[in-house]
Amino acid sequence: MAAGPMVKAEAVYKSFGRLEVLRGIDLEVAPREVMCVIGPSGSGKSTFLRCINHLEKIDAGRLYVDGELVGYTQRGDRLYELPDREVCRKRSEIGMVFQRFNLFPHMTALENVIEAPLHVKGEGRSAAAERGRKLLERVGLAEKMDAYPNQLSGGQQQRVAIARALAMQPKLMLFDEPTSALDPELVGEVLDVMRGLAADGMTMIVVTHEMGFAREAGDTLVFMDGGVIVEAGKPRDVLANPSHERTRLFLSKVL
Amino acid sequence: MTEIASGPSSSQGGRRPEAIKAVPVRHRWRWVSAALVLLFAFGAIYTVATAPLLRWQTFSEYLFQGLIFDGIRLTLVLTVAAMVIGIVLGIVLAVMRLSPNPVMSALAWFYIWFFRGTPVLVQIFFWFNLAIILPYVGVGGFRVSTNLLITAVMAAIFGLGFNEAAYMAEIVRAGIISVEHGQTEAAQALGMTRLQVMRRIVLPQAMRVIIPPTGNETISMLKTTSLAFVASVPELFTRADQIGNFNFRYVELLFVASFWYLLMTSVLTVGQYYLERYFARGAARELPPTPFQRFRRLLFTYRMPLPAAEPAVPVTSEHR
Ligand SMILES: Nc1ncnc2c1ncn2[C@@H]1O[C@H](COP(=O)(O)OP(=O)(O)OP(=O)(O)O)[C@@H](O)[C@H]1O
Ligand SMILES: [Mg+2]
């Protein structure tokens, strides 16, 4: 599956009750690609990310990760829901980073990082801890291994959260506004880690309002509004001369 | 525009001002009311303690008596067994109640409704007298006499434990709900199963909310075991009652029982404190000090001199 896209969405629809949040999303993310997603609040960015690792079920359309349907298998022209165990296994191959970090507060930084390798992958404790330490070093937190989340700054917490996701050696990383809850002076340290990841060839979908990051680290920039993709292209092009009025309007507000 | 005081402020360059020593406000009525209440309390205790027909000697004679100790042991067994049933079944019920499966949720609701809605005393009696309507229980060819299976002690444990489970279920459910949904989401995103999320992520955090009321439940259970009296289970209260009826020193034996109940609940209170402290890790930046640590700190700070400009003992360059 070397050549196929890492993520492929075909006319993805999703509603919450009567509210249609995604109204036909089509997109492809190639391996090693960094796709940034921008758009006004409520446009369905988070919902789309959550559909990719099946935290939400889509109502219509097809969503593939690494060539396989998300949440279903297809035999003939029939879809069969995957059993929970399979859903979990597939989720474990996709890392997710949240706006509010969502670290486990009753565990130290290192315990947070090795939790899933130990209990989902079934790795040995010493091997997992060894790798966990390396990861925390990589995100610049060698000194904070034994700190509890509430003893860390927001930026440090988010870096632990990134290390926690990386510990599962994901083939795809989803970031949902990873810097939006941070004080301005802490944004940089998190973006640096993400830039490093991008440079190492991680496939990433990043919902963000950091246009600087999108411009430098992003391969593609997608603008979503009202549950559809209004515009997609090279970040520089989209940012410099958006071809849609809605994009222009949005950018004029955030830039 | 407000002017910022020009020049270096006096506290920066100059000396630290003298520590404030003020005459405290006098709370005269506080003292008077406290004295009155104290007087009243002592009066009441004194009256009972020196009641003309009360024999303290009997109290001390029976305080460490073997039968009483047997009773204590059984009280503890009942408490532990009933609480284990209550907690384990309570967790199961709470998880069922929050399950997306409507049958599970309805069953749990029904259980809680039923066992919380009938008196424990009635439930203990029910188990104790089950044999009247159901002399044998069994599956297929295997049958046992109900009386053999449900002894008096078992009847008490079932009655107390199943009733407790209904209360524990609500306590556990409140704890589970108190854990932020983002925790579940993050755990699921890592690939954890529903059961793993519950066991590894949600329940440990729910503990902080669950422990205090569970401590209260345990303390309450310790005393409620005395209801086993109705099934003639020879626990602490039953023993005291029997001895008191036998030697006509009933009140003294009530005092003996009360002494041991008080001692045991006190021990549990201390245990609860340390358990809460353990589960607070990660919730507070620093763990609250244990009473022992607090006591030491109190001594230490009282001996400490006010922050002095110079160390009290002149530092000599002993080691060059
Ligand atoms: N679980 C849910 N139940 C009902 N409505 C939901 C749910 N999740 C999201 N929504 C609604 O779906 C819409 C899109 O939400 P979503 O979180 O995807 O937007 P977003 O683009 O991420 O916005 P933001 O920039 O504010 O994070 C919103 O109107 C939101 O209220
Ligand atoms: Mg969002």
Taking only the tens place, the pLDDT of each residue in B243-257 is: 999 999 999 999 999
How far is residue A50's CA from residue A37's CA, in Å, rounded to a whole number? 14
User: What are the residue ranges of CATH 1.10.3720.10 in chain B?
Assistant: 76-233
Tell me, in angstroms, the distance from the centre of ligand 2 to residue A227's CA: 12
Region for B118 from its dihedrals, namely left if φ exceeds 0, alpha if ψ lies in -120 to 50, beta otherwise: beta
pLDDT of B312 reads 42
CB contact at 8 A, B174 and B209: yes
Residue A22, token pair as written in the block: 């995604």
How far is residue A237's CA from residue A220's CA, in Å, rounded to a whole number? 10
pLDDT of B286 reads 61
- B8 pLDDT higher than 80: no
Using the Cβ of A151 and the Cβ atoms of chain B, whether some distance falls under 8 Å is answered with yes
CB contact at 8 A, A65 and A94: yes
Radius of gyration for chain B, computed over Cα atoms and rounded to the nearest angstrom:
29
> Which candidate, B222, B287, B282, places its Cα nearest to that of B257?
B222
Residue A41 DSSP symbol? T
Angstroms from B281 CA to nearest CA on chain A: 6
- Mean pLDDT in runs of 10 for chain A (255 residues)? 84 96 96 96 96 95 95 92 94 96 96 97 95 96 95 96 97 96 93 96 96 94 96 94 93 86
Question: Atom 16 (ligand 1): residue with closest C-alpha?
Answer: A44
Using the Cβ of B23 and the Cβ atoms of chain A, whether some distance falls under 8 Å is answered with no
- For ligand 1, is residue A44 a contact (CB within 6 Å)? yes
Q: Which CATH class is domain B76-233?
A: mainly alpha
> Considering only residues 197 to 236 of chain B, which have any Cβ-Cβ distance to chain A shorter than 8 Å?
200-201, 204-205
- For ligand 1, is residue A14 a contact (CB within 6 Å)? no
- For ligand 1, is residue A208 a contact (CB within 6 Å)? no
B42 burial (CB, 10 Å; 0-12 / 13-18 / 19+) is exposed
Interface mutation target, options B179, B190, B210, chain A, most CBs of A under 10 Å: B190
| Assessment of whether the complete model's pTM goes beyond 0.90 | no
- Other C-beta atoms within 10 Å of B15: how many? 8
Q: Which secondary-structure segment (H or E) carries A164?
A: helix A154-166
Is residue B300 very low, low, confident or very high in pLDDT (cuts 50, 70, 90)? low
Distances (CA, A) of B286 to A32, A81, B208, B283: 43, 46, 15, 9
